[in-house]
Amino acid sequence: MTQPDAPTTPHFRRLLLTGAAGALGQLLRARLQAHCDTLRLSDIAPLGEAGPGEELMPAALEDADAVHALLAGVDAVVHLGGVATEQPWAPILQANIIGVYHLYEAARRQGVKRIVFASSNHVTGFYRQDEVIDTRAPMRPDGLYGVSKAFGENLSRLYFDRHGIETVCVRIGSCFPEPKDRRMLATWLSADDLERLVIACLSAPVAGHTVIYGLSDNHTTWWDNRLAAHLGYRPHDSSEPFRAAALARQPVLDTTDPVVVFQGGGFVRIGPFE
């Protein structure tokens, strides 16, 4: 576990982590505790027993009353909750569209002023792998999941412009112990860098409405984060030590395959559009 780069990190009275039972939620559950008196954890999946400094509040994002209660007394939110892969429209609608609206309405009504929103690189998955884009590039989602995250980014923009709720939309790359394939040499985000990124998002004196790609300091990259430099995120890790293994697993690529051509990888071929 790492310490954030910022010389001083604010200590929150209560942080809310949604999606706390998921893979990334479990990574952050232990790491966020040092930055708050109370870490409120929520999910619809089992959360186990509450540890020291934790409180468990299961809530379905499509339940407006439950989400309103969930945000009571919260200083900031790390929102990982919702559908995290390409799925049929019905569950995406409930969790990622209706649910994120409930989250922002609850934040407005409860006076919460900063949210770290787990967006996705699949918001721009139909850019090619031979392109480098920044966050001003128009959204080109590669599926319904990407569309839902684009909606979340736009909704968070509205709530900043109209209500002053700061949001950092983190377009998460591929957060695994190591890159699984050649694509992940560009998209990989280490667990330690995920922590650094989230703490930077929470700690920045002024976040405004910012979009940032969640990736480590990889030699190969398709995403330019210079427009988010004010957050102070400085990745320490790199996919480079895993390059030889990734190349050995995929010695030959079919450059006519959309999975190889587009940044979204396999997501460009998943879903009801086949």
Which residues belong to the active site?
145
The three-class DSSP label of residue 98 is: helix
**DSSP H helix total and E strand total for the chain:** 9, 9
Could you tell me if 4 and 199 are in contact, meaning their C-beta atoms sit under 8 angstroms apart? yes
Could you tell me if 96 and 152 are in contact, meaning their C-beta atoms sit under 8 angstroms apart? yes
For 70, other C-beta atoms within 10 Å of its C-beta total: 24
Give the total residue count for the chain: 274
Structure tokens, 189: 């985000």
Q: CA neighbours within 13 Å on the CB side: how many for 35?
A: 27
Nearest residue to 18 via CA among 39, 2, 49? 39
Structure tokens, 224: 């330019």
Provide CB contacts within 8 A for 256, sequence distance 6+: none
* CA–CA distance, 110 with 113 (Å, rounded to integer): 9
